[in-house]
Structure 1
């Protein structure tokens, strides 16, 4: 009851504040500003009363007494700006670029009109030194995307400064990808439950994408490491027009991993087991008896007849002849189609419709032939007047994938075994599931995600100085991962639960019913949001905003084993209605010698759940907590499984129904509101027109995922479900409603210099002090616990270092409770150097260098003991502060567009874009066994990562249409990434240069030594497109 009233009080207070700030403004994250001064060309004095308008729209402004003007709430894009006044020549500045959260300066010098109707037209050039940018932001508009070898948002992110992409995941200045918030047109794409972002947006719909890695304003929350802000095309509502782009991309069939084909008949698993091998096997009576029983069980023989050597050979070859879905993995073409169209079919109405379908093909064999995906985006806007607009924005996404995805189902955010449990694809010809990757033994099932988000936004300009937006949005992320037992050919009499069927040689599981893992997560979020912007005067812009979000989450993870004929369940099931809220205030002050961004953000969340008052007994099992010592009392959510079909062993009865009396005096406590304040400060000091110095400081808070706050793992046995329910450390970790915000404090110093109006140099140095973390990962060029081009493990890099502590209760029944804690910290320091020639004329170029060092670890206690006679165990017993890791990254790209008339147009409008990246290899420690002297950690560095990508296309103008034909090449020079070896493999490599071996066959293990994810074999895509 107290939780209920607390929620009402906080909600009421929040809505009261929200009501106070709902006055004019647009969504700050999606628009920019134009400002400048209009002067008299004859004397340089400001001209009052000059009309400045954006051509093709009804948007504009009027200069004040000093000749200054500003125009607010402008969608990013390219515009023509016109200034006119009676008695002066009308002047138009063309191709003025507007960027999100940025002021574009456009000044006019108007001459007295000599000839009536005379007009001056000039072309704007993007300034190399952007004086009002106080943080680190990297922007790409639609034109830049077309010149760059990218296929999706992930590729865009990977090419930015400060971003390190391993092929499995991305790190932004040492932060993991779950610390990044993705947005589309101001709406978050983060579901909140397991910190997933929907990233598979359509690139043809994008007007601008910006990647913020440091110093971003207070309006951005729940993002410790970065923000990816996507703004889609926004057509003018007051001119009839259409525009669009269509793309088709084809990747030919082929083998794109290293090593031989997984099912090549030249491999040892074929050549070693010839007729002579089987003749030798039949020389002993024991083997003859075993084969007779084998054929009785799996092939229906009578159990007395012994197969001949030829029958054994034929049977074995049939067993290792893969199903077509596996055998033909290198014979499938990948297709992708995408199209976007936007425009204004009638006055006041605008639209954007975008769709994409991809028939994805894994480079590895997998349980399904394809990994299909789709994404549909629709935006409708109606302008009731030039200053009033209603917009509906809808995104619908879906995929079905048998390989690793960006979802956090692939790491320990969701369950402990997710860190090491492979997906349903085959990455070595000798993995035990090579011929049956569809469930039964340590494999995840294919993952299917249905993602929907819709936003209704009201935009209202109250005056030239003030505008506001109010939006309501609904998001649903429904994800499943289900093993595919329906693909098994045997029945439970042939292969019983808890058993496997191996091939005759004992190398591969042909079918198995040993383990079942099924996952469901359903996250819904309703968001109310309001933002206001007011230009108090020409140098002072104030923003404020508030947001309230209510969730409905349903999380079900089932893991079942079958020891000793019983069914052992390791489950994590919970649901609830958590909530969070935020308020921010941001002040942007622009003066001649300084630009200041000062802001503060207030965040709050409440898991709105009930939990045990005793951390040592979350199930309220023990008698001193009111239990009876026999049955747990706090497990209501455990058996509320409602998914049909797959969960044969999920118990269907609610614990409340079985033991109603135990709930009459249940003593639980309610979660509380957790709050955090984040000050932000950014300063830019324009030294001259060609240089500036900037500094930023800020606190960046992020709520732990709801599974970290509400998770409820238990174990139990089918034979006696109620009597055997225990907390269990093997499944995962208990959500901890007492967790607070993760926090990073960041400092950044930057300098920008323009060289001869040709190129600019950006220097940045940053320091990030991360504390109270619930997740820990090294920065470096790889992640020790999974991910990274040279990692020793597989899976998503986000899996690294979920932070937990353990409790040992008085009963000490062996089922210790492990729970999430805010005990981790990181120390990250780095510099970034970027030299850039912007796209002017025909070409652009960019080179970036990152260097960073990282350390971190855990603080506090690793084990808490209920028995007060023993001391708690601090983390320092098992993990001290980690050694420093350093990394350096080089990235560069260049693009060139040929003149339209080159060779009579035959070689005109050809675009060539090249991107190259270099990552230093990971540090590691190795000393020969006979080394004498002091051994320093990280004394060696592994092989680096290289990759070069290319885009080449030819465009032809046919009236208003521009057909495009092209080719894209990834890993142009076929660079190989070598996985960092460990143990004896590393020793043999260091001492003899010997490649790692397959233990059974002695073959070189090229499939695992060369990382096919970060650097697959050269991939060539053929493209067709149409622009209009």
Structure 2
């Protein structure tokens, strides 16, 4: 039934991801002879295996985490290894030696079961576990990813020089990506994450629709006893009020000073520097037996076979936005977000596991700096209207976002060596972009595409911008725009994993998803013209893959092949893009598109292979080669595809776009210095083709439009050096350095459009891309005293639980194009921003009281309060020599002294956590 459903349903763009790992090894006696028929069990679970004729065993289908593993043989002592770590998609080696002359059981504490060097890892792979996340000064998954080698944050995440949007985020094996923009819009509570795996290169055939990387997030499962946690962090002990009373009423607009808005809205005035942040963040978790089936039903005589456990994690976040202490009110970047994630795990018997998952997020946040822009035509959806009163906040653009995901998964063990996973999931993300509103207002309406929109006269909000003594804009309206987007993705996938023998693990799977995506928008150009558009499409796509993991003593090979297809399911595409519409028709008319045809289905194969060659017990050589395809964003494919060619420089989406392709190579070597320290040196090259660009098409002698096409290309080459030290003698750390050269014809899909509009020649040769940061260094240093250790006063280890974590980042300057070139063929990104550096400190003290663990901590972002330049307000001003010393002044704030060009200053957060 499910298979039939999959075949009818079409197939998924969302990549599949592993969520389990494996333990394998050998059991011998004290003479080194293999023990045949020894039993190896994972304590507290139903998983286990018996050794074969070579004394070898394997245990598959294990959730990531820490386990105790026991080996037994009749007539010999038993041995239990504690602290054995299992990692997603990796093999944890665990050998046992049993003594035939001893009796009883021996215990060994495993400190490096993950293997300082994971011999079977052919890809560039970094795992951040739950305990790592708790000690790091991070506020979300993005902070974790940005600390890894090859990751650069510049208008989005760029992995190894690729464009933003080329990284796929997975939550429990299902992609959580908005297909209209390929952005990760979900916020997972960090306390609910069991493990995060970041793969920056060489990922296998099971991962699709990702050119540059995969972030695989596995959430926690409930156990046999109740556990929970509560964590608060922020810079005040109260929630943040909304800005309903923040206004300019009663104030002379010609005599505004920084103190004026302080009293009515102190939270947004938090005057602690160039940008201060009001923050309130609360996370909670609860896990254990599901009470309804575990206690309530048995109490009335209804016993459900097996065990059902639950795990819930939730988060509430509220920030007050950035303020400027010199110039009055600041930027519209406040956030309010609720997030919840629930996982139910039911095990009716030892071979069956059923997971039910639910995720929900409700978020609203201010979008964009607005205090030096103006509002022109305030259109909003009828029934969703505005009565601003005198609150200037009501004139600000706001994004309202709602995400949910519902899923059901079945894991069925078919034999000791084979298991199958079946998963159904529906993910939906809704986004509305508009001004903040009051639903009680009523005004006249105007119609666009069958939707009624209202006009408010904004009589109570200053319609013009106010300029103070130093020419800094103090107030005014944001230019009008409104948008609503909804993406719904129904997904089916099934995978079968079989450990055929000790050397071969086969994995194969198919995917299927159906998309329901619509987008409506209204915008105004600088000249006051109103533009509107919409699309409602139902694409489908599909994939099948097979891969073999071959593990030998001297060689590990990961080889796989992936097949993908994408069907735009669109039949209103003009046969001739140079003659696309019938004269005299309007968008939406049934005969508007001239000779419409159906967009063909796109197919492609992705071969991938990786080798890992252990040279010695402490050295390994690794290599990967692969083809990686990615479907363009739906906005590039469908926005404007109704061919509304009114106005100047119209943009039209292209449903006939091909997938973008990256061919990637990497080779590296790992060396282990001692039991706790290793280094990995990896070089890589990426050849990128078929990137989305824009092409100017004339459909008459004087009329033209711009169409998205697969016309761009680029290449990236680089080297990463990663040094890791495991915890030992109270301290641990990591250091990674990345050298990268990212060149391409364009830094965005719209660069050609901008050049045509400016009258410049479209470049043919490659130049540094906007995110081409040549040198990047990340360092983590952690000092921590475990429970019961450290210096003592009498019998009391008074420093137990004390920890310090120092995080440091250095980045060389990003490129920019100089101003005032006065040529139709300007230099592109030939100059460089200054380098940046930021240090973050987190100090904590843990207390153990009975069965409760309490943790108090303080985090300081930008410890040395360094003023890093994020952007330049006015390139001409930056390059100007106003003081006449013969050198450019390099003032990034521009003529209006814009403080938004700098990154955050020093910010201090306090936190308190309780766990039981």
Change in 2 beyond 3 A, CA 1:997/1:970:
closer
TM-superposition CA deviations, 1:532-553 (whole Å, max 9, x none): 1001100100000110110111
Residue of structure 2 aligned with 1:352, choices 311, 317, 322? 311
Deviation at 1:342, TM superposition (A): 1.9
Instruction: Name the residue aligned to 2:854.
Output: 963
Match of 1:598 among 554, 559, 570: 559
Work out whether 1:329 is the aligned partner of 2:293.
Answer: no
Q: Does 1:518 align with 2:482?
A: yes
**Is residue 2:399 matched to residue 1:447?**
yes
Larger CA deviation: 744-753 vs 125-134: 125-134
Q: CA deviation at 1:927?
A: 12
561, 581, 605: which is aligned to 2:542? 581
CA distance in 1, matches of 2:170, 2:580: 39
* Structure 2 match to 1:835: 723
Match of 1:743 in 2: 661
Aligned match for 2:695, one of 805, 810, 815: 805
Match of residue 383 from structure 1: 347
CA apart distance, 1:328? 5.1
How much does 1:130 deviate?
1.0
Write the deviation string for residues 176-196 of structure 1: whole angstroms up to 9, x where unpaired.
331111111111111312212
The answer to whether the Cα contact below 8 Å between 2:731 and 2:784 also exists between their aligned partners in 1 is yes
1:554 aligns to 2:518 (yes or no): yes
1:897 corresponds in structure 2 to 784
State which drifts further: 53-62 or 197-206: 197-206
State yes or no: 1:229 paired with 2:183.
no
Partner of 1:293: none
After the TM superposition, which residues 101-112 of structure 1 pair with which residues of structure 2 at under 5 Å, given as runs? 101-112=89-100
Quote the residue 2:380 is aligned against.
Answer: none
**Quick check: 1:679 aligned with 2:607?**
yes
- The CA distance in 2 between the partners of 1:615 and 1:1017, in whole Å, is 54
Deviation by residue 1:487-509 (Cα, 9 ceiling, x = unmatched): 99999897799994455989869
TM-fit CA distance, 1:974: 0.5
Instruction: Report deviation, 1:938.
Output: 7.1
- From 784, 807, 818, the counterpart of 1:915: 807
Pick the aligned partner of 1:477 from 413, 425, 429. Answer: 429
SS in 1 for 2:880: helix
Shift of 1:325: 7.1
Q: Structure 1 residues 490, 998: CA separation in 2 closer, same or farther (over 3 Å shift)? A: farther
User: Cα distance, 1:316 vs. partner?
Assistant: 2.5
**8 Å contact from structure 2 (residues 641, 655) kept in 1:** no
In 2: Cα distance, 1:369 partner to 1:155 partner: 18
Task: State the Cα distance separating 1:630 from its structure 2 match.
Answer: 2.0
The alignment yields a C-alpha RMSD, in angstroms, of 3.9
Q: Is structure 2 residue 645 aligned with structure 1 residue 726?
A: yes
Is the Cα contact below 8 Å between 2:608 and 2:627 reproduced in 1? yes
Compute the displacement of 1:14 (Å). Answer: 7.2
Aligned-partner Cα distance in 1 for 2:137–2:407: 31
Work out whether 1:338 is the aligned partner of 2:257: no
Q: TM-score, normalised by structure 2?
A: 0.83
Aligned CA distance change for structure 1 residues 761 and 862 (closer, same or farther; 3 Å)? closer
- In structure 2, distance between residues paired with 1:616 and 1:896: 63
Q: CA deviation at 1:972?
A: 0.7
Q: Per-residue deviation at 1:128?
A: 1.5
Aligned residue number for residue 171 of structure 1: 158
Deviation at 1:876, TM superposition (A): 11
**5+ residue gaps in structure 2?**
239-247, 271-276, 295-305, 324-328, 377-389, 444-454
The change in CA–CA distance for 1:863 and 1:924 in structure 2 (over 3 A counts) is: closer
| Pairing 1:391-406 to 2, within 5 Å after superposition | 391-403=355-367
Distance 1:176 1:604 in 2: 22
Question: Matched residue of 2:18: which SS?
Answer: helix
Task: Provide Cα deviations, 1:143-184, integer angstroms capped at 9, x if missing partner.
Answer: 111221111111101111111124x42211112331111111
| Deviation by residue 1:192-216 (Cα, 9 ceiling, x = unmatched) | 1221223411111111101110001
Q: Secondary structure at the match of 1:962?
A: strand
Alignment partner of 2:7: what SS? helix
Q: Which has the larger radius of gyration?
A: 1
3-state SS, counterpart of residue 977 of structure 1: coil
Q: 1:359 to 1:927 in 2, by over 3 A?
A: closer
The structure richer in helix per residue is 1
Shift of 1:243: 2.5
Tell me the distance in 1 between the aligned counterparts of 2:209 and 2:636. Answer: 15
**Aligned partner of 2:881 among 980, 988, 992:** 988
Whether the 8 Å CA contact 1:75–1:234 is kept in 2: the answer is: no
The answer to whether the Cα contact below 8 Å between 1:607 and 1:710 also exists between their aligned partners in 2 is: no
Distance 1:571 1:730 in 2: 14
Report the alpha carbon displacement of residue 448 of structure 1 after superposing the two structures with TM: 0.9
Post-superposition shift, 1:242? 2.3
Q: CA deviation at 1:569?
A: 3.0
Deviation for aligned residue 1:230: 0.6
The DSSP-based 3-state class of the residue aligned with 1:190 is: coil
Contact 2:578 2:698 in 1 (8 A): no
Following superposition of structure 1 onto structure 2, how do residues 576-725 of structure 1 map, counting pairs within 5 Å? 576-616=537-577, 620-621=581-582, 629-632=583-586, 635-636=587-588, 655=589, 667-712=595-640
Task: Tell whether 2:497 aligns with 1:533.
Answer: yes
Deviations 1:225-260 (A, max 9, x none): 111111112344xxx312233210012499xxxxxx
Q: How does 1:21-32 map to 2 (within 5 A)?
A: 29-32=18-21
- Per-residue CA distance 1:920-977 (angstroms, 9 max, x = gap): 1134677999xxxxx9997764321100011111111111110111101111110111
Query: Take 2:579 and 2:80, find their aligned partners in 1: how far apart are those partners?
Result: 70
Give the stretch that moved more between structures: 967-976 or 554-563: 554-563
Q: What are the equivalent positions in structure 2 for 1:134-283 lying under 5 Å apart? A: 134-166=122-154, 168-236=155-223, 240-252=224-236
Alignment match, 1:944: 835
SS of the residue aligned with 1:602? strand
TM-score (normalizing by structure 1): 0.74
| 2:80 equivalent to 1:92 | yes
User: 1:45 aligned to 33, 42, 51, which one?
Assistant: 33
Residues 958 and 138 (structure 1 numbering): CA distance in 2 closer, same or farther, change over 3 Å?
same
Change (3 A) 1:945 1:996: closer
Aligned to 1:650: none
- SS of residue in 2 equivalent to 1:847: strand
User: Aligned partners of 2:648 and 2:608: how far apart in 1?
Assistant: 40
* Equivalences, count: 828
8 Å contact 1:832–1:848 — kept in the other structure?
Answer: yes
Deviates more, 1:756-765 or 1:568-577: 568-577
1:828 & 1:213 partners in 2: Cα distance?
13
Distance (Å, rounded) in 2 between the aligned partners of 1:847 and 1:338: 30
Does the CA contact (< 8 Å) of 2:462 and 2:475 recur in 1?
no
Q: 1:136 to 1:596 in 2, by over 3 A?
A: same
Determine the C-alpha separation between the residues in 2 that align with 1:936 and 1:571.
35
CA contact (8 A) 2:612 2:622 kept: yes
Distance 1:12 1:57 in 2: 34
Distance in 1 of aligned mates of 2:584 and 2:787: 83
- Per the TM alignment, residue 618 of structure 1 is displaced from its structure 2 partner at its CA by 7.4
